[in-house]
Structure 1
Amino acid sequence: MTDRHERPGPVDRRVRVQGRPVDSYPAVPTEAQRGSVRRITVVGEEILGQPCRDVTEFGSPWLSSLIDDMFLTMYVADGAGLAANQVGVDLRLFVYDCPDDHGVRHVGHIINPVLDLTDPRSRRLVDDFEGCLSVPGAAMVVPRTDRAVARGLDKDGRPLVIEGAGYFARCLQHETDHLFGHTYLDRLSGGDRKDALREMADGREDVLARRARKAAELGR
């Protein structure tokens, strides 16, 4: 999911890492500082259209390295969330660094998530623009609920409950969709999907060039 640079609501300096409040956190996530940039898959590639496999082995250096790489890849691409199949790995895992509508920053990863859209009496459907790192250069209005809860595990197999509101709730829904083999294009009408693909065709090269420049500036 792409980052949204104009965010409503008052500025709030709080940060929540893996769902827990912390006093401060670096602008470039710690994981990204250890990672390597991976290629981001593009809509139309087979892996993006297939459900991902559950992660069954935890606590491994390989899994930690994958998460680090995903964080850096997301950062270089100016993303707010990134699923494992977007870097060519068909596992149920995503990372995020996303604000909610009150300016609270949410940073972390979640494995094998199950999404709970919360009590329908306490949520509403919101239409807002949404972009995807695998649909470079395009953004379309997509309806999403304004509250969501993701229940899953961290990289060591410990239970996680991540609650999201506003734009962060949108991020949780967007990334969970990826793990089922869906992009936001699948939620559009036929006409809007064609418009998004045209936008991608027009803007893709500029987006990819911007990512390459940012990676080069970081020496990656």
Structure 2
Amino acid sequence: MNFTPEETSRYARHLVLKGMGGHGQQALKGASVLVIGAGGLGSPALAYLAAAGVGTLGIVDDDRVAISNLQRQIVHTTAAVGAPKAQSGADFASALNPHVKAIAHQMRLDAANADALLAQYGLVLDGSDNFATRAIVAAAAERARIPLVSGAVSGFDGQISVIAPHILRPDGSAYPAFADLYPESPDDADLPSCELNGVLGPLTGVIGSLMAMEAVKLITDIGTPLLGRLMLYNGRDGRTVELNY
């Protein structure tokens, strides 16, 4: 898989980066990633994965762009208000990097279509805004044996983890599953929502960018992903805490 002269210039900072180089960039070019939600978390994740040169990017979202989204959902513009978010996100990715194949899945992911959607990709990033969808995505990712990068935000706080129970630790044991992180399923009505409680715009950029970082690490086999670890970020105080589960 060769690079064109334009790609060589575009990815020059990756190609000279120790640990990444041509091998890592080739891995990105050959990768396929599904992003659940083209909202606050999906937007920065999409932007950085497209810029990094991920070969195929799928975007799942059944919503349309609203003016209230623009405070944090950076792939959408004022002119896109009323447009399908999935298509707006795909258009942004294609405009940023024409070497990326961006696929808009304008639908709501549910138990009936999750397996077929995830079967088309090698990695999934979940930036959905409700626990029911997160549980469906996690179960489908586990069945497909593909890694899941999970992020969430509320108010000034965010969190991120990588869930991949099909991957084994050095001692041969499996990394934790979604059920290990959430042994009980909360009711979405009891969880804080951005609509009711608000969310600081740049917070979504922090967590969404970290999600893209974890995806790049998984694709290129660079560094240590957040497997079995939950990173909590307090944006108000600028502090992080890491929990093992």
Instruction: Tell me the TM-score range normalised by the shorter chain.
Output: under 0.3
Higher relative contact order (CA 8 A, sep 6+): 1
> Radius of gyration: which is bigger?
2
Greater helix share, structure number: 2
Greater strand share, structure number: 1
Provide TM-score, normalisation by structure 1.
0.26
Query: TM-score, length-normalised on structure 2?
Result: 0.24
